[in-house]
């Protein structure tokens, strides 16, 4: 079973920041938080990952709470092409099995 | 250049047939995976291979047989196809323990 819980769906206005929350209250010290997204009918696409510190790349920012029990993926300026299902995953890098939950279906609205 | 590629993209076949799906990665990764995404959209791992050796086998029926001729290829052969095998199958690759990169998927329809 997935070790994360996410809202089933969210809407975001085009051009605004999309903030996608994820709860992972049972995360262990050596588990990373990964985010992927799946645009309709395509393969999952890696977005970002982190352990303790906040991370930023060209796609998004990842904010992890100090207790590491939750995190937020931020898409700073959502576009229509960001409409997708977003998956939050926790995993040890030494363990290759990645368990996907149902994710959050994000709809970016014009 | 495509990093993880799969062929075919679509596969329609009759029950009872045997079919194969091919996967190739040009990322120099040593680990490859097969995932199945069913009609409910849950993405589940089936197999993983590291350096051509089977690492993960998630209680998949033995009608499914992965074959890895080399580190860059992981093919999935399915015998005696059943209606319930209809799904989208994704291949992925990674350096062991690192981020997994997914292919575009193969939509299998069993009639």
Does position A103 have pLDDT exceeding 90, yes or no?
yes
Does position A95 have pLDDT exceeding 70, yes or no?
no
Cα–Cα distance, B2 to B24 (Å, whole number)? 9
∠ CA A80-A102-B26, rounded to 5°: 70
Q: Which of B99, B103, B105 to mutate to test the interface with A (most CBs of A within 10 A)?
A: B99
Model confidence pLDDT, tens digit, residues B42-65? 888 898 888 878 887 777 888 999
B45–A contact, CB cutoff 8 A: yes
Q: B38 Cβ partners below 8 Å, 6+ apart? A: B44, B87
What is the token pair recorded at B87?
């799904």
B48–A contact, CB cutoff 8 A: yes
The pLDDT of residue B54: 83
Does position B111 have pLDDT exceeding 80, yes or no?
yes
Nearest residue, CB atoms, B104 vs list A43, A49, A97: A43
A100–B contact, CB cutoff 8 A: yes
What is the token pair recorded at B56?
């993960």
Cβ of B97 and A94 within 8 Å? yes
B55–A contact, CB cutoff 8 A: yes
The pLDDT of residue A66: 94
For all residues of chain B together, what is the average pLDDT? 91
Share of chain B above pLDDT 90, in %: 63
Does position A71 have pLDDT exceeding 80, yes or no?
yes
What is the token pair recorded at A24?
């992972």
The pLDDT of residue B2: 66
Lowest mean pLDDT among A8-12, A13-17, B58-62: B58-62
B108 confidence band (pLDDT: 50, 70, 90): very high
Q: How far is A65 from chain B (nearest CA, A)?
A: 22
Please give, one letter per residue, the 3-state secondary structure of B20-38.
Answer: EEEEEECCCCCEEEEEEEC
């Amino acid at each position: 079973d997935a070790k994360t819980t996410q809202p089933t769906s969210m809407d975001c206005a085009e051009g605004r920041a999309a903030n996608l929350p994820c709860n992972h209250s049972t995360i262990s010290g050596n588990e990373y938080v990964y985010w992927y997204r799946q645009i309709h009918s395509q393969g999952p696409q890696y977005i970002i990952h982190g352990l303790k510190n906040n991370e930023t790349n060209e796609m998004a920012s990842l904010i992890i709470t100090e207790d590491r029990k939750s995190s937020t993926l931020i898409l700073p300026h959502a576009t229509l092409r960001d409409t997708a299902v977003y998956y939050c995953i926790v995993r040890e890098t030494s363990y290759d099995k990645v368990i996907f939950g149902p994710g959050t279906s994000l709809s970016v609205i014009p | 250049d495509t990093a993880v590629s799969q062929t075919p993209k679509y596969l329609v076949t009759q029950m009872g047939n045997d079919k194969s799906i091919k996967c190739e990665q040009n990322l120099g990764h040593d680990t490859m995976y097969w995932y199945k995404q069913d009609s409910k959209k849950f993405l589940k791992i089936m197999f993983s291979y590291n350096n051509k050796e089977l690492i993960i086998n998630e209680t998949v029926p033995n009608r499914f047989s992965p074959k890895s001729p080399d580190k860059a290829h992981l093919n999935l052969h399915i015998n005696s196809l059943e209606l319930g095998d209809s799904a989208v199958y994704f291949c992925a690759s990674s350096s062991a323990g690192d981020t997994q990169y997914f292919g575009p998927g193969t939509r299998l329809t069993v009639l």
